[in-house]
Amino acid sequence: MKIKLTLFFLSALVFGSSCRNDDDGNQNLLSGYERIVDKNYSLRDVEVRANGVILFDRSTVFECERDNINRYESSGTATTRYGLLRCDPNEPNEEFYFWTLISNDSKLILDYNGPNVLVYNIIVNDGRNLVLERFSIEDVDNDGTLESVQSRFTYVRS
């Protein structure tokens, strides 16, 4: 009886841990493009600094942004699907834009049609986490003075 019970638990362990339905194989063998494309990502953390001082961080990420889903399609288009919680009642259900990777998959370009092109450094892209960082010079506090702004966004695959 002990042998049957041991075999049962052993087989349950093997079958239960052998694969997952979202397993993409060995992530180390995939390119940065393959780790991102056709997958859904949700915002989990954010930090925005102006002249080294934190303006926004995880505690200020609104719940209405945490249920949004970003997806990078193989066609070069990207989509943000806004969740049930809306920051603005006039937000559309989806927003479409273009994306591409450059510099050996180390930079992500998001093109929102027209002058709104954003370039992010990819800090982490391991197939589960996507950490993007962007530097800009802008007047974030509307005081007429430009600040050096560092924005870091952490997404997790959902």
Task: Kindly report, residue by residue over 112-156, the tens digit of the pLDDT.
Answer: 987 889 999 999 999 999 999 999 999 988 899 999 999 999 999
User: Do residues 146 and 135 make contact, with C-beta atoms less than 8 angstroms apart?
Assistant: no
Exposure b/e, 24-41, CB count within 10 A at least 16 = b: eeeeeebebebbbbebeb
- Is 116 inside any structural domain? yes
* Domain span at 129: 40-136
Q: How many domains does the chain have?
A: 1
**Ranges assigned E (strand) in the chain:** 40-50, 53-56, 69-72, 77-81, 94-102, 107-111, 117-125, 129-138, 147-157
- Is 150 inside any structural domain? no
pTM of the model: 0.77
For residue range 57-101, what is the model confidence (pLDDT) as tens digits? 876 667 778 889 999 999 999 999 998 888 888 888 999 999 999
- Is 2 inside any structural domain? no
- Is 143 inside any structural domain? no
- Is 156 inside any structural domain? no
Question: CATH number of the domain that 93 lies in?
Answer: 2.40.128
